[in-house]
Structure 1
Amino acid sequence: MQTWLYLHFPSLQLDTIFTEDERPLVLVKGRDHHIVQASSAAIEEGIQLGMGLGAAASLCSQLQVQPYEPKQEAAMLEHLAQWLYLVTSDIVLFPPQGLLLKVTDMLTLYSGLENYWKAVQQHLANYPTHHPLRYGYATGFSPLSAMLLAKQAENMLTLDGEKLRARILTYPLSATELSLQHQEKLSRVGIRLVSDLIALPMQEIARRFDIDLVNYVGRLLGQFHHPLPFYHPKEQFHGHLELLYEITNIQWLEKPLTQLLQQLEMFLRLRNQVAYELALTLIQRDKKHETLTFTSAQGDYHTDRWLTLCRLTMESIKLEHPVMALTLKVVRSAIASCEARDLFQGNKGRQSPLELIGLLQAKLGTEHVFRPARSDDPRPEKATSYVDPIVTPPATHRQAQLRPTWLYPTPEALIEQVTLIHGPERIATGWWDGEAIIRDYFIAQSAQGRWLWVFRTPEQQWFIHGLFS
């Protein structure tokens, strides 16, 4: 017998909205604005599901109201499936509020149903959301039987098929997935409970009703094959988070952004990847959008490290419009490379060059961070260039030469008395690009003891070009 576990999240959108406000909150739907989801604080005020907004507002003057968005809830359900994929394999999405898990193949791995459920339950408790997830659950001998029990919040875990069957028979047809049309037809002939429907022979159901009802009964009892589209994690991360209130200060985005970065860490860990560039889209009032880019030179997946880079980047940004939602996606990613670390001592506070580059780019901007590199041009002004800090510069063929530590941007006229110590070294080059030079360089010492790098032109003019000390 196959065993299934169904998880029903009756308030998924409400539980995943980011808010630090503990006032009662409800989600409304339809033209009459009836309540479909309510927070614990709202329920304590006497507000019930199905109640009209007017009646709810009369019970609670501090009530906060948001519209119900099925698409948004379905997207959060997919994030949950991605999260659970770390502990269980076969998952089926039933949007917008249900997840079906195939238990049979996991019992050997977890040594029984109890251990498997503990792993799933603990993993759900660690899901990165501001409020705990509320859900009902139940096992079943078929997907539809598990769904029926879970939606009624049975919270029933057993492998006993007879016990599950006996519990299913007690429910009215309104608790099943049958359409209202089927329920009305069955009610006319006195069939109101699942037990009444199951008591009918299958041939009688097929003769008096349509094939859809036959298929439902057969799949509910596990007699018919139930084709299911199993979930496969997406290859690209795309996280979205709705905010309960508008944010006008860029620094206040840190907490909701942390929640998205935690989801990103899980996504990358699952695939053994690191991200090099992230794009955060700020969805603002009046449908305005602003996109911020965060980069990591060495690539990373840790929430804390990405949060540091994001914080440094956002320091210099000022919001023009209030932010209502956040969308985070990965622009560039790759397979994580192996790092050699001490097994027992680990890192000791050392910072790699790429980590430093990443912090500097986040603070100053990628267009302001470069790496100095040597070139084969003999002209002192062109001997050093500035390149991308991440790209390793090509090796040069120049031999080591006596050169000053400090080089003037432009040579200055030599106006003091000096003593020539070493030289001359003639540099005559640059004829190919119109910047030809002919100079005789000397190492000299001034009367104050400074070591200078000076040169003489063919016109017998003397200049100082650098300082050795």
Structure 2
Amino acid sequence: MLWACIVFPQLALDCVLRERDDVDTPLVLIGGPSQRRVLQSVNPAAANLGLRAGQTLTAARALADGFTCVEADPVRAAQVEQLLAAWAYRFSAQVSLHYPRALLIEVGSSLQLFGPWPLFEARLRAELDALGLRQRIVVASNPVAARMLANAHDGLAVTTAEDTRAAMLNLPIGKVGLPKEAAEAFARMGLRTLGEVLGLPREALARRFAAGVQLHLDQLLGLRTLGLTFYLPPDRFETRLELNFDVESHQALLFPLRRMINDLAAFLAGRDCGVQRFELLLEHVEGPDTRIPVGLLAAERDAGLLFELARGRLEPLRIAAPVRTLRLLAEDLPPFVPQHQALFDPRAQQAQPWEQLRERLRARLGDEAVQGVRAEADHRPECAWQLAEQGLSSPLQMPPGSRPGWLLAAPQRLPDGGVLRVSDAERIESGWWDGGDVRRDYYRIETREGLRGWAYQDLAAPGPLWLQGWFA
């Protein structure tokens, strides 16, 4: 087996930055008791002001001004960890959140599907960058070694037990995950690296240190396995984002909405499913929440399409009161079946598949504005087609080309001698039971310009031809 460990060294800070569009503004995360507020993390712009993690807020304000303070939110960081586990689930069924701010992924069985490790690693990094998360990635022959090597390395890949052991020998004793008391005891003994500790007799270590120390060392070397609880994706997706200020316009909601939709798409890809219905909830400062349902006729998981659909539902809405929080809830998660496409797609690059165009029109114009049609058991052309809900098929099968694809709203009189009849008459007599009795002879016609149409002559009042539709 081969294990990858992805460590997120600034997860709490990245959780804040990924939800803001002013990432260049100096920003610090603060925590601790109210009597002694401490900077837990700073972004690069704040570091340029001389601020650093561990400073008290009082000292930071004495040193610099003009930075934004945000309260550290462990709950939000835990939610992002769950999202990351769902994202990683698409690459391996063995994903664990055993260590805080880190993912353990068994990747040995995934290399045949996702390519050699350098390509696989590049894909992981690109997708994590798109999610707005900084990372360190290490691969080793066992999960404990991969996690500890990530304390000192980024990009290291040791694929055998021998190479893993060799890489760990030079690790500082404070970075191998030992209890603090044991690490300090080794340091007082003059032991600085893991290799020096492993050089001690095993029996001496067992007499002087607790059993947990030897167990951890054995797990580092792969002599004992670490019991891991593997992640199982939930059956629903829910995320909630508190906005930095009261929002009263649609435009200010688009940036957080895009981030939430991207998270939803990552969750769907990891779970290998799509979404057919989801709901946006605008939580106002005062008054009830505004619910915005977004429904699709088929399951989708493309982030761009889902964002456009949600945006189309949001923009026509009148925001009655300032919005404080934005929520997204998706519970209808059916299997996703990707469309089959030809190897050489003949569509123009800017064209869209009909399914995506249909959903965009429904989002922009409303559900009732986009309808389907179905064939009815009626010989009269004006009654043979009826509006129907999208996706519903008709049991009647119409031979291709037997009827025109475009029927006029009302028949138009054709001038005498202006068209050529290119078929024999097809007589239609029907409708006596509902008061719409017709008796007509229909002909295929062709105009001087080469257009092909469908026209009839009324047998009840013989006279000119009346154009009723055009063939494609």
Contact map agreement 1:219 1:225 (CA 8 A) in 2: yes
2:301 alignment partner in structure 1: 301
Question: What is the CA-CA distance between 1:98 and the residue it aligns to?
Answer: 0.9
The residue aligned with 1:327 is 328
1:357-414 Cα shifts (integer Å, max 9, x gaps): 43342123335655566767999999986543332355499xx9xx99559xxxxxxx
In structure 2, C-alpha distance between the alignment counterparts of 1:270 and 1:137, rounded to whole Å: 19
Q: CA RMSD in A?
A: 4.7
Task: Assess, with a 3 A threshold, how the Cα gap between structure 1 residues 272 and 48 changes in structure 2: closer, same or farther.
Answer: closer
Q: CA deviation at 1:11?
A: 0.9
Is 2:170 the counterpart of 1:167? yes
- The TM-score, its normalising length taken from structure 2, stands at 0.69
Q: How many residues align?
A: 418
Give, in angstroms, the shift of residue 142 of structure 1: 4.0
Structure 1 pair 393–4 and aligned structure 2 pair: CA distance change class (3 A): closer
TM-score by length of 1: 0.70
Alignment partner of 1:18 is 2:11: no
| 2:40 is equivalent to residue 36 of structure 1 | yes
Amino acid paired to 2:211: I
Q: What corresponds to 1:54 in structure 2?
A: 58
CA distance in 2, matches of 1:404, 1:391: 24
Q: Which residue in 2 is equivalent to 1:345?
A: 346
Q: Which residue of 1 aligns with 2:73?
A: 69
Change (3 A) 1:301 1:104: closer
What is residue 420 of structure 2 aligned with on the other side? none
User: What SS does structure 1 have at the residue aligned with 2:167?
Assistant: helix
SS of equivalent residue, structure 1 residue 213 = helix
Aligned to 2:337: 336
Letter of the 1:163 counterpart: A
Work out the CA distance in 2 between the residues paired with 1:36 and 1:287. Answer: 36
| 1:61-460 → structure 2 map (5 Å cutoff) | 61-86=65-90, 90-102=94-106, 104-105=108-109, 116-127=117-128, 129=130, 131=132, 133-140=133-140, 142-153=142-153, 156-158=156-158, 160-168=163-171, 170-172=172-174, 175-180=175-180, 186=185, 190=189, 193=192, 195=194, 197-234=197-234, 236-238=236-238, 243-244=243-244, 246-269=246-269, 273-283=273-283, 285=285, 289-319=289-319, 320-329=321-330, 331-336=332-337, 338-339=339-340, 341=342, 343-346=344-347, 354-355=355-356, 357-366=358-367, 370-371=371-372, 387-393=388-394, 395=396, 405=409, 427=432
How many angstroms apart in 2 are the aligned matches of 1:214 and 1:277? 52
Bigger mean CA offset, 140-149 vs 99-108? 99-108
Residues 247 and 119 of structure 1: CA distance in aligned 2, closer, same or farther (over 3 Å): farther
CA distance in 2, matches of 1:298, 1:51: 53
Q: Structure 1 311/108 Cα, relative in aligned 2: closer, same or farther at 3 Å?
A: closer
Residues 234 and 128 of structure 1: CA distance in aligned 2, closer, same or farther (over 3 Å): farther
One-letter amino acid of the counterpart of residue 389, structure 1? Q
Determine the C-alpha separation between the residues in 1 that align with 2:179 and 2:110. Answer: 33
- Other structure's SS at 1:316 match: coil
How far apart, in 1, do the equivalents of 2:60 and 2:88 lie? Answer: 35
Q: Cα distance, 1:248 vs. partner?
A: 3.0
Distance in 1 of aligned mates of 2:347 and 2:379: 45
Distance in 2, matches of 1:322 and 1:47, equals 33
Q: Cα distance 1:88–1:276, how it changes in 2: closer, same or farther (>3 A)?
A: closer
Work out the CA distance in 1 between the residues paired with 2:157 and 2:309: 45
8 Å Cα contact 2:142-2:220 kept in structure 1: yes
Query: 1: CA distance between counterparts of 2:109 and 2:396?
Result: 56
**Structure 1 residue 200 displacement after superposition:** 4.8
* Residue pair 1:139, 1:157 contacting (<8 A) in 2 also: yes
Separation in 2, partners of 1:388, 1:284: 34
For residue 298 of structure 1, report the CA deviation from its aligned partner. 4.5
Displacement of 1:9 in angstroms is 1.0
Q: 1:48 to 1:79 in 2, by over 3 A?
A: same
Task: For residues 270-315 of structure 1, give each alpha carbon's deviation from its aligned partner in whole angstroms, at most 9, with x where no partner exists.
Answer: 6665433232334555897443222233443333333332222112
Matched residue type, 1:69: D
Checking the alignment, whether the CA contact within 8 Å between 2:29 and 2:71 is kept in structure 1 is: yes
Q: Which moved more, 1:354-363 or 1:32-41?
A: 354-363
Q: Aligned in 2, Cα 1:352/1:267: closer, same or farther, shift over 3 Å?
A: same
Deviations 1:83-120 (A, max 9, x none): 44555664332453112244555667788xxx514531
Identity of aligned residues (%): 22
C-alpha distance in structure 2 between counterparts of 1:424 and 1:106, whole Å: 67
Asked whether the equivalents of residues 377 and 396 of structure 2 are also in contact (C-alpha less than 8 Å), the reply is no
Residues 285 and 321 in structure 1, CA contact (< 8 A), matched pair in contact too: yes
Q: CA deviation at 1:55?
A: 1.8
- The AA in structure 1 aligned to 2:212 is D
Give the partner amino acid of 1:68.
A
Deviates more, 1:143-152 or 1:100-109: 100-109
Q: Which moved more, 1:377-386 or 1:296-305?
A: 377-386
CA contact under 8 A between 1:8 and 1:150: conserved in structure 2? yes
Task: Summarize deviations over 1:114-148 as a string: whole Å, max 9, x none.
Answer: x51453144323336474x3333444454333323
CA distance in 1, matches of 2:297, 2:53: 50
1:127 partner SS: helix
Instruction: Decide whether aligned partners of structure 1 residues 98 and 372 sit closer, same or farther in structure 2, where only a CA change above 3 A counts.
Output: closer
1 CA distance for matches of 2:431 and 2:281?
Answer: 57
User: 2:13 is aligned with what amino acid?
Assistant: L
Which blocks of at least 5 consecutive residues in structure 1 are unaligned?
408-422, 430-437, 444-450, 456-466
Find the aligned partners of 1:35 and 1:127 in 2 and give their Cα distance. 25
Does the Cα contact within 8 Å between 1:298 and 1:358 map onto a contact in 2? Answer: no
SS in 2 for 1:227: coil
The secondary structure found in structure 2 opposite 1:335 is: coil
1:220 to 1:242, Cα distance in 2 relative to 1, 3 A: farther
Are the equivalent residues in 2 in contact too, given 1:297–1:355 (CA < 8 A)? no
Amino acid at match of 1:165: M
- CA drift at 1:244: 4.9
Q: What are structure 2's unaligned runs of at least 5 residues?
A: 412-427, 441-455, 461-466
Residue 426 (structure 1) shift: 8.1
Distance 2:140 2:96 in 1: 15
| Secondary structure of 2:359's aligned partner | helix
